[in-house]
Amino acid sequence: MSPADLVFLAWHAARDHLDLFGSLGLCLGFAGGMMPRRSLILFTSAACSACFALHFLQLGAQTGTAMCLVSVMQSVVAARWIGAESRAPWVAPLFVASSLVAMGLTLATWNGWPSACAGLGSLLATTARLQADPQAMRRFFLGSSSCWALHNTLVGSVFGLTCDLLTLTALVIALVRGGSARSVSARAAEPSDASSAAAPLPGAV
């Protein structure tokens, strides 16, 4: 088989999935992983999930569509009512209820392994949105995106799989960058701590 034949087969497999919603979701998925602040990560993630809900609807992946709609609601709530120092008292019950709804939708639209991957990905994403620390949130999103990558491979979503791979790349970059920044801050604090320890106490000779 010649390279031209391979290119033709790849295009034939991908062209049915080249829709506007998949394109927007792909761009937003990568952008979300690179966002510097927790609220921006969540709002971008909500927009990405909305796009992929429509994309999966076109593919007939009902479980994926349902999980994306739950993700939109959870992301908006988490961005608006979960902070580093406070959390609205009704948020936890809402997330528990929406997780139960997601489980029910997974069972109602069960389609084997794709549904299992979507359900697990949704559960990990729900846990991520409850995290106040951006780095912790990114770690759970890393697991969630891995599950969705398997889902999109099984349902044949070229855009979805590409988005997941880009999102995973962005999350790894952001995690490494965040870890490096914390290490630099910790090292910068060490000299002042050492000098304070070495300084004589007032009145001491």
- Within a domain: 187: no
Question: Given this model, what pLDDT does residue 12 score?
Answer: 60
- Within a domain: 129: yes
- Within a domain: 196: no
pLDDT band with cut points at 50, 70 and 90 for residue 202: very low
- Within a domain: 1: no
Q: Over 70: is that where the pLDDT of 47 sits?
A: yes
Residues spanned by the domain of 44: 8-82+90-180
- Within a domain: 45: yes
| Average pLDDT value for residue range 81-93 | 83
Question: Given this model, what pLDDT does residue 14 score?
Answer: 53
Global pTM? Answer: 0.72
- Within a domain: 195: no
pLDDT (tens digit, 9 = 90+) per residue, 101-131?
888 888 888 889 988 998 899 899 999 998 8
Give the best-scoring range by mean pLDDT among 14-23, 56-65, 146-155, 192-201.
Answer: 146-155
| Average pLDDT value for residue range 136-143 | 94
Q: How many structural domains are present in the chain?
A: 1
- Within a domain: 28: yes
Q: Give the 3-state DSSP-derived string for the chain, with helices as H, strands as E and coil as C.
A: CCHHHHHHHHHHHHHHHCCHHHHHHHHHHHHHHHCCCHHHHHHHHHHHHHHHHHHHHHHCCHHHHHHHHHHHHHHHHHHHHECCCCECCCHHHHHHHHHHHHHHHHHHCCCCHHHHHHHHHHHHHHHHHCCCCHHHHHHHHHHHHHHHHHHHHHHCCHHHHHHHHHHHHHHHHHHHHHHHHHHHHHHHHHHHHHHHHHCCCCCCC
- Within a domain: 71: yes
